[in-house]
Structure 1
Amino acid sequence: MSTISVHGTASPSLKAARGDAARERRGTFLLLGPALVFLTLLSIWPFAYLIYASFTSYQLAIPIPIEWVGIDNFTKTLSNPRFWSSLSITLVFALIAVPLQIAIGLALALLLNGVVRGREIYASLFLIPMMVAPIIVGFSWNLFLNPIYGPLNSFLKSFGFDPPAWAQSSSWALPTLVLVDTWQWTPFVMVVLLAGLNSIPRRVYEAARVDGSNAWQTFAHIVLPMLFPYITVALVLRFIDSFRVFDIIYILTRGGPGTVTQNLAYYTYDMGFGRFEFGTAGALSIVQLVLLTAGTMTILGFAKRRDKAPAPAKPLRPTVIGQSQSAPQGRVK
């Protein structure tokens, strides 16, 4: 049935459909409008102002006019040895903490995946560190690792050991931060990988068992490749968070001793709220964003190339002309 009348005007049914679509669009805008305004005020506008401040001489404590300095803040940042020291500390922290969390999280996920009864209870217990606020985690570990009255050092001294000062030691401060971050965020990796293990159908394991694969072969050649997308998600999220670690550093070490635990996040905080050089802090934030974007794209690009890699072709058995490729039949006597 045609929706256009002989006079070239739209039929009533088409007009009604257009009216319903217009009302639906207005309803969508009314529902999303407050969220968009909230997002604009709390995310987009501060980020735009941060970009503007990174090109100015904005200083909070000194009442001087704000001047446009161009890329001077960026050149000053990149030529500062303190920036490169903070970047190296950030990379060392990420390259140690993130793989460690992936490995332990995978082990815990495999352990819980094999549990039949009480899996939810055990998983909830493992999730407790992740549910605690980072500042509470920092204060708790600060008390636990205190070199004078901390229970860990008291326990080690009772066995005749001479424990270090942990967070106050230049040799142990960074490993201590890795330990605390791993303790808190390994459960997140465990949850992601456990979801991946639960998505693998049982028939996959049954087919591997029928083919004669042992537990290690099944894990290495079947389970691990199927878990790779979930590992990529956990790796990207933890890599991003490793650049943003601030709470436990502020509570445990304050970037010290000296600057041995001063990562990019703490260095940016010190420039903005310690020295009140908001322009330089803005430039540091933009540089950190660029580094995070490049690192994330590198990880995702590697994962994409791996997914597109062709599977190795199975070698064909040489055949004789006139003989099929099937298994040779035994002679009939």
Structure 2
Amino acid sequence: MRFTGLANWGEMFREPAFWHAVWVTVKYAFVTTVSEILLGLGIALLICKKDNSFSRALKVLLVFPLMVAPVIATIIWQLMTNTSVGILEKFLNLFGVYGFPWASSPSTALFTAALIDIWVYTPFVIVLVVAGINSLPKSPFESAQIDGGSPWFTFKNLTLPMLKPFLYIALIFRLMASMQEYGIIFALTKGGPGDTLMNLSLTAYNKGFAFLKFGEAMPYILFLWVIIYIISKKLVSNWLLVQKKASGR
């Protein structure tokens, strides 16, 4: 071994594979995080609208994916999307769609990986939002109902502003996790087809453990850590600023 200074960092920034990995990381994180926040919020509002035995049973069922390891969830989805016996493939056959490529095509690989991620982690957002809805005060909603406020007015001016702390927590946790996602992508295609899903985590793994170039792999992980730290710190700072202004009023 020999000391190389910042040579590995310079080499990383000159590699097209690095910029491709950055793009895949950002794209995957954006698609999964936005989808999970929106779906989690929508489903939580629906199941909290009526408190009956059906909604309580639905809450339990929706939390089930959180108890499944991401790799196991990926194997389950591989079976469901199998072109011979997969239940999702048979469902698409009803609409005249046969042999959907799923993870075997560069054009649909990201969609398939994101679909698994959304199935596994949307319940996390649902749990947070449901807890937030149950903790909201009742009097503002009763006043809005007496004054004839529409459901959209109530959601826009009461529910959503008061749920912001819970949505911020979900956003920070899911964004950080999706940017460093490894298990789902590795179990699904190992970064393929080709380099379609080679994000920063998988690229670092290949360099470090497949090619035993740990010096070249380290900058990828450190770069990912710096990006996650900056984004999460910015989100937390913005939220604290909003809370300070709100308390000042």
Instruction: Check whether TM > 0.5.
Output: yes
Name 2:28's counterpart in structure 1: 93
Q: Which residue is 2:174 aligned to?
A: 238
Equivalent residue for 1:110? Answer: 45
CA distance in 2, matches of 1:308, 1:249: 40
The CA deviation at 1:96 is 1.1
Mapping for residues 27-46 of structure 1, pairs under 5 Å? none
Query: Which amino acid in structure 2 is aligned with residue 204 of structure 1?
Result: P
Task: Give the distance between the partners of 1:265 and 1:120, measured in 2 at CA.
Answer: 38
2:10 is aligned with 1:81: no
Q: Is the 8 A contact 1:142 1:251 kept in 2?
A: no
The match for 1:286 is 222
Runs of 5+ in structure 2 lacking a partner? none
Structure 1 match to 2:106: 170
Aligned partners of 2:63, 2:217: CA distance in 1, in Å? Answer: 35
SS of the aligned residue for 1:127 comes to helix
Separation of aligned partners in 2, 1:156 and 1:101: 23
1:71 is aligned to 6
**1:305 Cα deviation from its structure 2 partner:** 4.1
Change (3 A) 1:153 1:121: closer
In structure 1, distance between residues paired with 2:57 and 2:109: 34
The C-alpha deviation readout for 1:257-296, integer Å capped at 9, x for no partner, is 1111111111111111111111122221111100101111
Which structure dedicates a bigger proportion of its chain to helix? 2
The ranges of structure 1 where at least 4 consecutive aligned residues each deviate by more than 3 angstroms after the TM superposition are: 304-311
Q: Distance in 1 between matches of 2:196 and 2:89?
A: 22
Q: 1:197 & 1:121 partners in 2: Cα distance?
A: 18
- Cα distance in 2 for partners of 1:71, 1:95 equals 30
**Equivalent residues in 2 for 1:1-333, closer than 5 Å:** 66-118=1-53, 119-308=55-244
CA shift in 2, pair 1:209/1:187, >3 Å? same
- CA RMSD in angstroms, aligned pairs only: 1.9
Identical-residue share of aligned pairs (%): 34
Deviations 1:137-194 (A, max 9, x none): 1111111112344332234335432342110011000011111100110000000011
Q: Contact 2:182–2:202 at 8 Å: present in 1 too? A: yes
Does the CA-based 8 Å contact 1:145-1:167 persist in structure 2? no
Q: CA deviation at 1:310?
A: 7.3
Q: Verify the 8 A CA contact 2:83 2:100 in the aligned structure 1.
A: yes
Q: 1:34 is matched with which residue?
A: none
Deviation at 1:299, TM superposition (A): 2.0
**Relative contact order (C-alpha < 8 Å, sep 6+): which is higher?**
2
Q: Which amino acid aligns with 2:148?
A: G
SS at match of 1:126: helix
Give 5+ residue unaligned stretches, structure 1: 1-65, 314-333
Q: Distance in 2 between matches of 1:154 and 1:221?
A: 44
Pick closer, same or farther for the CA change 1:143–1:68 going to 2, 3 Å: same
Tell me the amino acid that sits aligned with residue 77 of structure 2: W
In 1, the alpha carbon distance for the partners of 2:166 and 2:91 equals 39
| Number of residue equivalences | 247
Q: Deviations over 1:204-241 (max 9, x none)?
A: 21122233311110110011001011100000000001
Whichever residue aligns with residue 182 of structure 2, its letter is: F
Distance 2:204 2:78 in 1: 23
Equivalents in 2 of 1:292, 1:209: separation in Å?
42
Which letter does structure 2 place at the counterpart of 1:77? M
